[in-house]
């Protein structure tokens, strides 16, 4: 059960690394505008989460990467992306992004049928219909709700007050949450996140070597990435 929770923080981190980020700009411009009254606690929790990743999660992800072919892991990733269609569809619709909602519906129908239950991303590869990353935290931000204080959650990692409230909606919009018994649901989410991490086993370690202040980098990267997604 622990592995699933551990995975989530690093999925966040790898999403942060998806776009080039100027570390100097992040540290010296955004630091003044991010609400961070819990910095001492947040730094402690970042160090704790960092240690858990380095000594527990990364070795597990590397082991899985070594035994599972990339083609297999890519197929698994596509299946989970397809399963999370409701989360993206609901939030694009709530935000009035109806063209994105149509993209998501088209992707789901094509990938669920021609793509063999989502194993192949037919819509993306052949029709260039890309998924739109949306969640309830972004929807709240879309309607002007501020991020509130930055909070580093135990195991779950970087977040803020708004996104913590959004996690409740995300839970109910995720079909995997309804798998019964709950231990099976948790196991599936464990595997989903571990599979995702297997594509990024070296990225976090490289980032740790390059940044001046790990906490500041992760904090600013998280808030910057979330703000960018909300403005899309």
- Mean pLDDT within 5-32: 47
**Is 66's pLDDT higher than 80?**
yes
Could you tell me the pTM of the whole model? 0.85
**Is 169's pLDDT higher than 50?**
yes
Structural domain including 112 reads 2-231
- Mean pLDDT within 157-182: 96
Number of compact structural domains in the chain:
1
d(CA 79, CA 73): 10
- Residue 2's pLDDT is 42
């Amino acid at each position: 059960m622990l592995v699933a929770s551990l995975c989530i923080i690093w999925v966040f981190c790898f999403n942060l690394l998806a776009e080039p980020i100027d570390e100097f700009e992040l540290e010296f411009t955004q630091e003044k505008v991010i609400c961070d009254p819990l910095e001492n606690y947040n730094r402690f929790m970042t160090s704790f989460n960092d240690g858990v990743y380095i000594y527990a999660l990364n070795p597990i992800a590397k082991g899985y990467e070594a035994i599972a072919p990339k083609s297999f892991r890519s197929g698994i990733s596509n299946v989970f992306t397809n399963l999370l269609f409701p989360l993206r569809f609901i939030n694009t619709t709530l935000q009035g992004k109806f063209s994105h909602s149509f993209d998501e519906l088209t992707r789901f129908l094509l990938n669920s049928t021609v793509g063999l239950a989502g194993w192949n991303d037919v819509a993306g590869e052949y029709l260039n219909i890309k998924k739109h990353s949306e969640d309830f935290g972004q929807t709240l931000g879309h309607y002007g709700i501020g991020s509130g204080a930055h909070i580093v959650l135990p195991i779950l990692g970087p977040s803020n007050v708004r996104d913590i409230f959004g996690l409740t909606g995300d839970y109910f919009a995720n079909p995997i949450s309804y798998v019964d018994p709950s231990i099976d649901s948790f196991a599936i989410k464990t595997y989903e996140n571990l599979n995702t991490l297997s594509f990024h086993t070296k990225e976090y370690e490289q980032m740790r070597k390059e940044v001046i202040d790990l906490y500041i980098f992760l904090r600013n990267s998280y808030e910057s990435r979330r703000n960018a997604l909300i403005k899309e």
